[in-house]
Structure 1
Amino acid sequence: MDTTVADTLIGTTIDGRYRITGRVARGGMATVYTAVDERLERTVALKIIHPSQATNVHFVDRFTDEAKTIARLTHPNVVAVYDQGRHQGLPYLVMEYVQGRTLRDLLNQRRRLNPVEALAILEQMLAAIAAAHRAGLVHRDVKPENVLVAEAPSGGIANLVDSVVKVADFGLARAVEASTTDDSGQLMATVAYVAPELVTDGHADARTDVYSAGIVLFEMLTGRVPYDGEVPVEVAWQHVDNDVPAPSHVVKGLPNVLDDLVARATRRDPGARPTDAGALLAEVQVVRDDLGAANVETALLRQVPARSPVADATALVPAVTSVYPAATDRPTWARLPEQNKGGRAQRRAAPLVEAPVGRFGDRRQIFIVAAIALMVLTIVGSTWWVTLGRYTEAPQFVNMTRTQVEQEARTKGFALVFGDGRYDENVPKDVVLAQDPPATERIVHGGQITLVLSLGPERHQVPDIIGLERAAAKGEIETNKLVFKEGAGEHSDTVPQGVVISTDPKPGQTLKPGETVTVVISKGKAPITVPSVIGQNITAARDQLQGLGLIVVEQYKDSNEPADKVIGQSPGPGTGAEKDDEIKLEVSKGPSQVIVPDLTGQPCPQAKATLEGMGLRVTVNLNVNGKVLQQSPGPNTPVAPQSEVVLNCL
């Protein structure tokens, strides 16, 4: 939708109900306007899809379905959807109008936020996204532009800790889930916040939103995103190839717990991240509690030794309230149930600290002593909890199987993260090789333990490289951590020069890393083309082949062909050969001979029948019914089959 079309909509009443009063923003998929719902007399936000998307039937249907789902998703941190419809064929949504600015506007103005502000905003973001995850929705495009920071109840947004945060564009993000690229081939998700798995295979689940939320936290703490570049696809692949740097490397002095939180949320392996926004929210609240407790304790310890407790007890109160607020100072929507209870207890105790000085000295002194005692107990309790109480010893997991450690971790309440495995010749597969922190070291109750599992003895299969050219074959061998060795080449009539003919060991056999694979590579067709000598006399055939530098080996066989005729050769005609290669020729011995019997004195008809039965031709002279007086060839003479025998009879 271009600017002209957008401007003409201002003043238009859509569906007889929503009168558009102004344009708020124009994005890649839709334009957002302010409008007045004349039926309920309230200001709403109206989002109209661009005409370029209206022709995509799948997009429109998915957008409509997801809008219905979001409309049923009631949560104080989700921008509510009130209505939907079509205007001139373009789908639109009617949503809650949030008076405030986007998180992007805030970051443009202030560059970065302090840790407590960043965590306060992140908590509400995650509360909204967690509600969507529980409903089976994945946002896919978590970024500062989709986070609205409303005015605080006290007015304005200067106090970000008390501001109301709302997340928008759930339906729009899910509507494009089936298509991860636009017409130009670019990723639909914003590349600065895109999760690695969305880049590599287009897959998105709840952990994808966790990754993007971690990048948003990094930007709130540091004032910039972790990766940038001139081409969007280059930025996207940096998420795949690199770990997100620690925020404290960019802004010195940030607590280590924030580095750990960002690292947990932005693991490149989705399985190493919190399972969904709700799990990350729990970790964020623990971190915020730790930051609040640590700052309160530091402030008290700095104040107490400098003054007389009795004289200046009430002066401690400003020091306590000037540091980062603890969990009990949060708005109700940002607290877990147990924190709400703690907040009520804290508020009931607060008057003892803040009680004004009365007219009666004894009462004033009692209040001061009680306040001092309460502060001392708080300091001692906080110190014990921070330094000792919340810690336990890491269990010994080394040499246990994966199944055993998972059961043990569930029993003792630890979270497990499995790092990259490592090959080991002596330790079976899926047995723990190492752990961090090591056994017996201090670890927070319910903390995370990273384990390295054995992959077993390292073995690699000889790849099937037959038919590959030499360079590609060498690369395949070395990729499998094996050594490429080129053996003696062979001529081949079928395999082109430079292409692998065979390997030793054969493909599929397993070897240790560094073992050698000998590769036989084709030298192409041999330089001499063997001619056909079949049917020639052996003498002529021998002369022809020897003239080409080939060695003739003759083998005589019985045959009906004439003697000394070549009846076969190996290798066959047209085959390539080298000088001094052997050519085997099969040579006919000639037909088998028949011995003519002695027929003298026998009746001529009987003699003729005998000879014809032996495969000979018979000629009878004189008296055909007489007796044989003479025969030619004579008795016991060997003759070829079908030879003629002449009988003279009287």
Structure 2
Amino acid sequence: MDTTVADTLIGTTIDGRYRITGRVARGGMATVYTAVDDRLERTVALKIIHPSQATNVHFVDRFTDEAKTIARLTHPNVVAVYDQGRHQGLPYLIMEYVQGRTLRDLLTQRRRVNPVEALAILEQMLAAIAAAHRAGLVHRDVKPENVLVAEAPSGGIANLVDSVVKVADFGLARAVEASSSDDSGQLMATVAYVAPELVTDGRSDARSDVYSAGIVLFEMLTGRVPYDGGEPVEIAWRHVDNDVPPPSSIVKGLPKALDDLVARATRRDPGARPTDAGALLAEVQVVRDDLGAANVETALLRQVPARPPAADATTIVPAITSTFPQSGGPAGAGPNRPGWARLPEQGPRTYGGGGGGQRRRGAQDDDHAHHPNDRRRLIILAAVALVVLLVAGTTYYLTLGRYTNAPQLVNSTQQIAEQEGRTRGFEVRFDAGRYDESVPKGVVISQDPPAGKKVAKDGTLTLTLSLGPERVTVPDLVNQEKAAAKGLLEQNHLVYKEGTAQYSDDVAEGVVISSDPKADESLKPGETVTVVLSKGEAPISVPNVVGQNINDARGQLQGLGLQVVEQLKESDQPAGTILGQTPKAGVGVEKDAEIKLEVSQGPPLISVPDLSNQPCQQAQQTLQGMNLRAKIQFNPNGLVRQQSPGGGTQVPAQTEVTLNCL
């Protein structure tokens, strides 16, 4: 019966973007899955922390901080970190997916690798770690499990010399260090590769990574770690008490240069090691170049065919492949001359004659006898010269001749860079690109290998194009709940900020009323969006007081706990009449909210003219023209002797003015 427990994350889409398709590996701190980034349509690796670690605040904080730091490391041998977030409270990383296997898997399958392959892998490992050291980071957990070997351009990973090596787990190593000390303060580490100073002092720096890299080289060459078996504490202290043995003591025939390299990297005193991964890398490159040239020369010489059995010197040509004396040698050879190139011996020679007798050759016989030997010697020397030229030419081609300098393609457009690279015989590839605020979209901002570095004439140039300034669009947050709005902003790499909440009769409490900037505006990643949330309906509904007298309206509003602000306005309405209100009737407000009232100050006033001694008929017409009414008493054809109200009095329109005419 199958008792395998199904992984519930497989098939899940995280943050609406990363669809998990399978599980790659499960470790002590996290599980790694393959996922498809539905937005960019590419396969990525998703590493999510185990639930048991989520409650460790120090671990989670350090894990997140280190992820951000490593994401800024741009190096072809570092597993890139694209994104980070949380799923159901568990921190996760989105990383580059490397098609291949770990170095641990390869060593399990092959047990060990040859020296040239080991140095090729180590060189790329150190290049990645050196980039971290330059950025002030220390890996702290260099081991085969954290070294990924991608498929070689030639196909598969059988040819390790051509494979691409990437180093992973910088951030996780630092987070483990920060959260996994025991009560005594001793740092937990992978004991097979732990540097002595971590065991004795609990401290580490770039030289600790150098030590661990030396142990990895030892394991690649020998198929085992120097100290194994027993309790972890015992293994750790063996690094403190013992020097790492030379690899040739386990695998016979390894060059002494490799023993010296391992010894330099694994000195117990950190001060005696190379100062960082970059310094060790320089030493590895020297050893690798020396071993590479020697191996090419030996391999080529051993391919020179032997002469046929009928020839005079059937053993001369094989001897070319096996002996290059540095000094001394048999008589006649001379210094630095191999045995097969020595001159003929001097002195008397004899040859067999009839009856078994012997006689000395005459001068004439000597001359005739030496001619065939001279011809044979010339043939041998010519063959040697030919082989030497073949070896020298082939060695030059394999070490220098097949290489050229990488061209300068940075700041070129995609079309020009691709044309230039292919014109020079390179295969040109483009990676996913990188956003840049200053370099226009479609222009090369970096290349691997860099300009001027040696690269095979038919090799590959990997170019990184600028994607232009990175901009994200503000999502539509209106009518979204707070958590959803915050998640949408995080997914778009924007910062959530909460503004002053407002009451709303239309939007439920906790739901977004508005955002600043508004939806569809473009921002740089990391910019802030201010969100205004609804407080729900206000507790007081504003009554309708339009048309009421100001005294009545004031009393009603103040009785509800509202503040009244009056604003006089000319109107045909009687003075004191409410003409309008803000907010309008039915709107919800808080206690002590201000209600603005427009109050009529009545019709506009007219200044009554002084009509004294004017004819009554003329005075009547004047008043009517000013929208006033005239009342004539006594003699309509007389002159105005009195008026009421008097001249200069302010009165409303249509006020009656009495004229006494005599």
When normalised by structure 2's length, the TM-score is: 0.48
Q: Which has the higher helix share?
A: 1
When normalised by structure 1's length, the TM-score is: 0.49
